[in-house]
Amino acid sequence: MVAVANWRDVRQSRTTSTRVPQLGTRGAGTGREALSKRIVDLRASVAARPDNVGLAVTLADALVRQTRITGNAGLALEAEAALRRALIADPGSYDANRELGSLLLSQHRFREAIAVGEKNRDARPYDSLNYGVIGDGHLELGEYQQAFDAFDKMMALRPSAAAYARVAYARELQGNLTGAVESMKLAADATPPDDPEALAWHHAQVGDLYLRLGKLHEAEAEYIAASHAFPGHPFAMMGYARLLAARGERTGALTMLQELARTAPTPDLAARTGDLLDQLGRHDEAERQYALAEAGWRVDAPEPKNLARFLAEHDRKIPEAVAIAEKAASERRDIFTEDALAWSYFKAGRVAAAREAIAQALRTGTKDADILAHAKAIQHATPQVVAR
């Protein structure tokens, strides 16, 4: 069946591809300097041969990785443009369509990603990565059973770093943090050493899980391992800053976040920086960071649920927070969107509606600290909470 699928793809594809090493394989490193140089070289090659699928796919992969490192959402748009041009010349390219599915996920276009993933699954039912794309899309939309079924299929077909990482997140969502650590460590162990960017990402994820478990020493070791693999990786730096804050070292945490902001600014980073500044009594500086976070979530990297939650948490524009959260929840029902809706309702004094929404946020058994704190506050509130 695999042979038939491959033969069918060749028949549908009208052009040949230049064979270039994929990122994360020998000869195509993903360290910071290697990745930046790779992108420069690939841009030139793709400009000269925009219809070459192999070049376009490799450039798209590199740009998505760079987006993860820098927080520059415009790189994902560049990656999509490169893939779309290649697909005009060769619409039957399986590699380009598979890369497109992952790219659409990174842009939060989840329904589109699922559709592309299903098309690719039908073309090659034994390619496990297609089930990862399908599962990720359903997961972000709050369709958890469909997501978990897809991840189970992915693991059954081919256990890999990508599969283990998805199992880890599924376990985390269901409150099994110890099991999530085990799976994410398997993902890190399955990552090749010549893919330092992915290796750093996996170690940072393990560190985040240890931090949620209150195991600060273990978390620190993972963040150090991530930084050793990829110095300055933003997920490792953000995690280490949270670790320092948990230890009460707010000034050190602030310094680390400010350093990260010089190379990889994001709305979330600005919001966290603002919170630390506020805790340190530097309220005017905190307000400037909050304004950056709000503007970023509105324009640079639109994310309605994060914006609504941010506004509610910081008592800003509560009626608008409710409207934003309601619109977001009409399109996706994941537990974090439900939590943003619940907290916006709570801050607006709509306790009954908040209780309905927070029940949905708790439905997977999550142990997310923020969701649990919101649930506790909502449960003990009375309907006479004054709207802001």
Domains and CATH numbers, the chain: 1-107 (1.25.40), 303-388 (1.25.40)
Collapse the DSSP code of 25 into the 3-class scheme (helix H, G, I; strand E, B; otherwise coil) and give the result: strand
Closest CA to 355 of 366, 364, 346: 346
Please give the share of the chain, as a percent, with pLDDT higher than 90. 72
One-letter amino acid of 87: L
Say yes or no to pLDDT of 218 above 60: yes
Closest CA to 137 of 116, 123, 164: 116
**At how many degrees (to 10) do helices 128-140 and 94-106 cross?**
20
In the structure encoding, which two tokens stand for residue 202, read together?
A: 């996996």
- Average pLDDT, integer, range 205-233: 96
Spatial separation of the C-alpha atoms in residues 30 and 286, rounded to whole Å? 35
Spatial separation of the C-alpha atoms in residues 379 and 388, rounded to whole Å? 19
Closest CA to 367 of 132, 161, 181, 147: 181
Please give the share of the chain, as a percent, with pLDDT higher than 70. 90
Angle at 352 between CA 349 and CA 358, to 5 degrees: 95
The per-residue pLDDT for 202 is 96
In the structure encoding, which two tokens stand for residue 131, read together?
A: 């089930």
The per-residue pLDDT for 31 is 64
In the structure encoding, which two tokens stand for residue 237, read together?
A: 């730096």
Say yes or no to pLDDT of 122 above 50: yes
Position of tokens 């608008």? 320
Spatial separation of the C-alpha atoms in residues 189 and 1, rounded to whole Å? 31
β-sheet bridge partners, residue 28: 25
